[in-house]
C-alpha cells in the first residue's frame, strides 16, 4: 500500500530524473560520472600536482615534491601513478644515471587544469570570507 511518504518519494525520484539524470537518487557511486572524476578532483594532493604541472609544463619528481609543499614521497609516487593511469599526466623516464623522470600534463590533463584554475580563482578571491567565518565561529 502506498503511503504519503511513498508518494513523495516517487514524485521526488521523477523530478530528479528529469532534472539531473546524471546524479540519480539511487545511483551506485561507482557508476556516477561526477563521483568518478571527483576521485581526482576531491583529492588535495592530486589537485595540487595538476595545478603545478599547469604552471610548469615539465616537472621532475623532486621538483614537484618541493612545489607540492608537505607531500611525502610515498603519497606523491602513489598519486602520480594514479594520475598517469587515469590519463591526466604522462611520465617519461630517461636511462641516465641518476635516472631522470619527467612528468607533464596530457592534453586531457591540460583541459582539466583549465577548469581547475577557474575554481582556484574563486578560492583566492573568497578565501578571506572563509577565514572571517572561521574566526566568527571561533575556529581560529
Task: Tell me which residues touch DNA (CB under 7 A).
Answer: 5, 43, 45, 60-63, 70-75, 77-78, 80, 91, 93, 97-102
Environment class of 79 (CB within 10 Å of its CB; exposed 0-12, middle 13-18, buried 19+): buried
18 near its own copies (CB under 8 A): no
Are the CB atoms for 92 and 102 separated by under 8 Å?
yes
Q: Count of CB atoms within 10 A of residue 13's CB?
A: 13
Q: List interacting residues with its own copies (CB under 8 A).
A: 19-20, 22-23, 25-29, 32-39, 41-44, 47-48, 51-52, 55, 66-67, 69-70, 84-87, 108, 111-112, 115-116, 118-120, 122-124, 126-127, 129-134, 136-137, 139
Amino acid at each position: 500500500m502506498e503511503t504519503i511518504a511513498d508518494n513523495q518519494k516517487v514524485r521526488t525520484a521523477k523530478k530528479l530524473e528529469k532534472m539531473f539524470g546524471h546524479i540519480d537518487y539511487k545511483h551506485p557511486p561507482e557508476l556516477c560520472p561526477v563521483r568518478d572524476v571527483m576521485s581526482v578532483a576531491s583529492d588535495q594532493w592530486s589537485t595540487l600536482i595538476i595545478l603545478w604541472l599547469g604552471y610548469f609544463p615539465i616537472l621532475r619528481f623532486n621538483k614537484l615534491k618541493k612545489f607540492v609543499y608537505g607531500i611525502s614521497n610515498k603519497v606523491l609516487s602513489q598519486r602520480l601513478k594514479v594520475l598517469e593511469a587515469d590519463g591526466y599526466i604522462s611520465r617519461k623516464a630517461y636511462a641516465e644515471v641518476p635516472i631522470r623522470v619527467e612528468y607533464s600534463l596530457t592534453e586531457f590533463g591540460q583541459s582539466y587544469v583549465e577548469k581547475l584554475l577557474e575554481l582556484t580563482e574563486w578560492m583566492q578571491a573568497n578565501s578571506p570570507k572563509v577565514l572571517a567565518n572561521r574566526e566568527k565561529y571561533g575556529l581560529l
